[in-house]
């Protein structure tokens, strides 16, 4: 069974640009979550989607947005990039995202560098 | 709000040494607790979990017991290997935020031959 895939794996952008990251969950998984990982802030929850609906959102500015498609694939978008947006962006999928019972499977991440 | 505190790293051990990585949590409800591991250049992998007090999670020789009285979930392994070198994250999820994981800051483990 293929794991969670994220594209691209590496990305370099300049301040003010926008970026779109993609995540393909494990087949059959309907929930996708996004996390930002930085050396200073650690792992922080961005948002979670289930059946194309955002169910939960973390404390990030409106520049961070996401969506989920009918095939459960998800994208996240960051507009007007800032230097502080440089991070590893991780996507995780699970069957239902009742984390207490389900297991979240993480992808390898997209490393975004903002210059 | 809910939070997770882990011991600072890096932790450096010789092969076959005993490992303990401390983790304590603060939560308003009755959370589920997790240990994830991140190998260099990879995403997170679930190592083990426990969903209620006194549960013991175990996998690949690693163990952690959910201690409600001390709000702790310490990770242990009796004999570490070089291949265990990675970053270990303690995390929680509770019913109030069942769609997200709250992570600790991570502890880097380096095992020397």
The two structure tokens encoding residue B73:
């979930």
CA distance B94 to chain A (A): 7
Mutate to test the interface with B, among A50, A92, A100 (most CBs of B within 10 A): A100
Return per-residue pLDDT of chain B as tens, 113 residues: 889 999 888 999 999 999 999 999 999 878 899 999 999 888 899 999 998 899 999 999 999 999 999 999 999 999 999 999 999 999 998 766 666 889 999 999 999 99
Mutate to test the interface with A, among B44, B107, B108 (most CBs of A within 10 A): B44
Across chain A, where does the E strand assignment appear?
A: 5-7, 10-13, 19-24, 31-38, 42-50, 53-57, 64-68, 74-78, 87-94, 105-106, 110-114
Look up residue A25 and give its DSSP letter: P
Q: What CA dihedral angle connects B91, A48, B99 and B92, to 10 degrees?
A: 10
Return per-residue pLDDT of chain A as tens, 115 residues: 679 999 999 999 999 999 999 999 999 999 999 999 998 889 999 999 999 999 889 999 999 999 999 999 999 999 999 999 999 999 999 887 666 667 888 999 999 999 9
């Amino acid at each position: 069974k293929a794991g969670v895939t994220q594209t691209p794996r590496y990305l370099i952008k300049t301040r003010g640009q926008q970026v779109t990251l993609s995540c393909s969950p494990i087949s059959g998984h309907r929930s996708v979550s996004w996390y930002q990982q930085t050396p200073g802030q650690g792992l922080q929850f961005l948002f979670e989607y289930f059946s194309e609906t955002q169910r939960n959102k973390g404390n990030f500015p409106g520049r961070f947005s996401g969506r989920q498609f009918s095939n459960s694939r998800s994208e996240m978008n960051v507009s007007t990039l800032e230097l502080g947006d440089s991070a590893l962006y991780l996507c995780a999928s699970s069957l239902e995202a009742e984390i207490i019972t389900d297991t979240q499977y993480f992808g390898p991440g997209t490393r975004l560098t903002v210059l | 709000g809910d939070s997770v505190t882990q011991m600072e790293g890096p932790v450096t051990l010789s092969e076959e040494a005993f490992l303990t990585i401390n983790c304590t949590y603060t939560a308003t409800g009755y959370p589920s607790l997790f240990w994830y591991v991140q190998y260099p250049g990879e995403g997170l992998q679930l190592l083990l979990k426990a969903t209620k007090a006194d549960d013991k999670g175990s996998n690949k020789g690693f163990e952690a017991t959910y201690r409600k009285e001390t709000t702790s979930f310490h990770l242990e392994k009796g004999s570490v290997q070089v291949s265990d070198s990675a970053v270990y994250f303690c995390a929680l999820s509770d019913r109030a935020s069942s769609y997200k994981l709250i992570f600790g800051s991570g502890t880097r483990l380096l095992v020397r031959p």
